[in-house]
Structure 1
């Protein structure tokens, strides 16, 4: 069993604080909000991930853990580890301890299919999950929460199911190993052992607790209140008897963005009460919008993100026109003062997707010193993103409906640990 986290059983409300008005009265300050459905920074600023770790009660993913991953897998750490994209965890140490003893684990992640096409931020957890699957040689379950999006986005059941299959093609295009990967849609799979675990979880979570964790109100329909167990139980191996029969003690590692943490704080609180191990998590920052690091990208604003369906011309236009620059507003000033790298979106995008550490460091140094202009940095970003998107587009074009059916087939994975 994982070591107990004294904060894991408490579900704090969104952060709040006060300051003094000019008249000396206490006034509430607007604080950042991070939930599975809303992400916003304080007063239009950046998300404070340090405060988020304190609020949620998770742990910082430090260099010693990254070094340990490299030692155990004999692989260079993924760029998302090296650059702090995945920055927090819950009991990841326990997963590594078990792996070092020769015990196996499995991966679980998911996608809420609410749009036809994914943007680059959607790809981040799946790119990292593929690295984990390849490095540790472990099985993976991917949940497509078509039921969730039907309830939250007011989509029809049929449209939610269609979007799930379309999104599945993008996930398969990431290169997952079909011999170790099971993809499922809730509308099709939920039942049997999976549903039994949902009921076990639901009986342990009071209405007051689910309101405290997720912020539901009296205006939310009961489908929303009843959904959290659906996302919780893939972290229990007994939910997949066709995969893990006889392996009910198998540990689960969940790579996800930090906004999904509330679901798994609830899950980890309930797990020991129903006889299961707590899932472990490794959690990422948010991929910033083109307009700046104020939260997640908005699906309602197509110019806030680069989509995997964007053409090379689209990418060039979006980066040149919308990518917020930390460079100076004239060449003369840029040469004299250099760029503010802390707010520069082209640099942020290179930190995510330019694998060459030496090249990135050179760009950062020269741009910050004024030896590079914003246009020069944006040209390199356009090259990197265009290559990434075109590679993904080619891979997705090769994914057939028959391949989707094969990944979603309820079947054993006989070589999933080899």
Structure 2
């Protein structure tokens, strides 16, 4: 009999020492191939080159459309249950990289309703986090002509009619088997809302390849949506997925979280705070003593400072390879590695924070990213709502 997994990965819980290859078997996804990585636009993104995005579902139609200058889109969302940290933001900068190089349409849904169902927080708290998170997303610098930001409760006139149509395609048995026993009926219904998120670009623009770059724990949402997309009554393609590993927490292997006691580096942290968190909390792969480290070297595979640089915060492949080599040899010390990681992260955050400070009011900035009335009408019509007069009252 195969050994029992000693980890849990679901949209609502990530625990244990994750075997990413084993997850591919469990979820039925495929490893991202060398040939597929080469099809991403130059210069290839570190998240792809370094196998952080390591698995996929139907990524080829998206890459082919991007290469041929044909219509293609990305959906990457945010659940506003707290302040954003560095683990939350890198998928959005990845989406901007694709938009800048291939004109990708980017759709960003905010699942404020799901977070209210899931978290012990008031509607007011979720609303406050939504506003703060929106400002961080706007600071990324997306092209408003090719980006739409949707907030479930604020755009309920279009999101919930579509979710109602898709909800009829999903049985409670499917929800239970995919997510476990939901805590409330809101979470039972939410997979239909998530399917609306993932199919929304096609409902607005017509059938085309869509890619969902997400952490691997969110893959169940894609699987349920792909089953809905397969129904002949909807003229949509199954959305593809690009699945990533987790950015580790400061305390070591595992998913970085802003909702538990583990420290995390927030997008609002200043330089001093970043250095303090890295120096104090970043798990080291080095030896306990200087002489021992010089003799035996360190392990970059578990060193959090190195992993931060490897995942996102060091552009040069030659540099990360050199750091890994010198760390293993013992010529690079854990403290030196921490200082490099803190410096790069602080520089990144300062640039992000400067762009955020330069924004105008949220209402004015967000307006240019909102759905137009014609886009709302097109989405409702393609999902089977030819007459929207009732929802407009």
TM-score where L is the length of structure 2 = 0.89
User: Are residues 1:384 and 2:384 paired?
Assistant: no
Aligned to 2:194: 231
Aligned to 2:22: 51
Aligned to 2:36: 65
Aligned to 1:315: 274
- Residues 67 and 102 of structure 2 are in contact (CA less than 8 Å); yes or no, is this contact kept in structure 1? no
CA 49–30 in structure 1, closer or farther in 2 if over 3 Å, else same: closer
User: Are residues 1:171 and 2:171 paired?
Assistant: no
More displaced stretch, 400-409 vs 268-277: 400-409
Q: What are the within-5 Å matches in structure 2 for residues 306-345 of structure 1?
A: 306-345=265-304
Cα distance between partner residues in 2 of 1:359 and 1:203: 52
Cα distance between partner residues in 1 of 2:201 and 2:331: 58
The Cα shift of 1:90 comes to: 0.5
Cα distance between partner residues in 1 of 2:143 and 2:260: 33
Which of 197, 208, 211 is equivalent to 1:253? Answer: 211
More displaced stretch, 367-376 vs 159-168: 159-168
Aligned to 2:379: none
Aligned to 1:108: 75
- Residues 85 and 267 of structure 2 are in contact (CA less than 8 Å); yes or no, is this contact kept in structure 1? yes
Q: What are the within-5 Å matches in structure 2 for residues 89-238 of structure 1?
A: 89-100=56-67, 103-115=70-82, 117-192=83-158, 194-217=159-182, 220-237=183-200
1:166-221 CA-to-partner distances (Å, cap 9, x unmatched) read: 101101111111111111110011234x434322321111111110001125xx11
- Residues 170 and 396 of structure 1 are in contact (CA less than 8 Å); yes or no, is this contact kept in structure 2? yes
- Residues 232 and 264 of structure 1 are in contact (CA less than 8 Å); yes or no, is this contact kept in structure 2? yes
- For structure 2, the residue ranges without an aligned partner over 5 or more in a row are 376-393
The Cα shift of 1:163 comes to: 1.8
Cα distance between partner residues in 1 of 2:350 and 2:2: 46
Aligned to 1:347: 306
CA 58–30 in structure 1, closer or farther in 2 if over 3 Å, else same: closer
TM-score where L is the length of structure 1 = 0.84
- Residues 17 and 31 of structure 1 are in contact (CA less than 8 Å); yes or no, is this contact kept in structure 2? no
Cα distance between partner residues in 1 of 2:106 and 2:374: 12
The DSSP-based 3-state class of the residue aligned with 1:113 is coil
CA 240–364 in structure 1, closer or farther in 2 if over 3 Å, else same: same
1:301-338 CA-to-partner distances (Å, cap 9, x unmatched) read: 2x521111112111111111110101011110011000
Which of 255, 268, 271 is equivalent to 2:229? Answer: 271
Aligned to 1:408: 370
Which of 45, 51, 54 is equivalent to 1:87? Answer: 54
CA 310–209 in structure 1, closer or farther in 2 if over 3 Å, else same: same
- For structure 1, the residue ranges without an aligned partner over 5 or more in a row are 1-15, 19-28, 414-418
More displaced stretch, 30-39 vs 156-165: 156-165
The Cα shift of 1:406 comes to: 2.6
Cα distance between partner residues in 2 of 1:376 and 1:314: 17
The Cα shift of 1:94 comes to: 2.1
- Residues 59 and 88 of structure 1 are in contact (CA less than 8 Å); yes or no, is this contact kept in structure 2? yes
Cα distance between partner residues in 1 of 2:179 and 2:52: 25
Cα distance between partner residues in 2 of 1:84 and 1:57: 18
> How many residues are paired up?
370
The Cα shift of 1:239 comes to: 7.0
Cα distance between partner residues in 2 of 1:378 and 1:158: 38
The DSSP-based 3-state class of the residue aligned with 2:150 is strand
CA RMSD in angstroms, aligned pairs only: 2.0
The DSSP-based 3-state class of the residue aligned with 2:153 is helix
Cα distance between partner residues in 2 of 1:409 and 1:98: 24
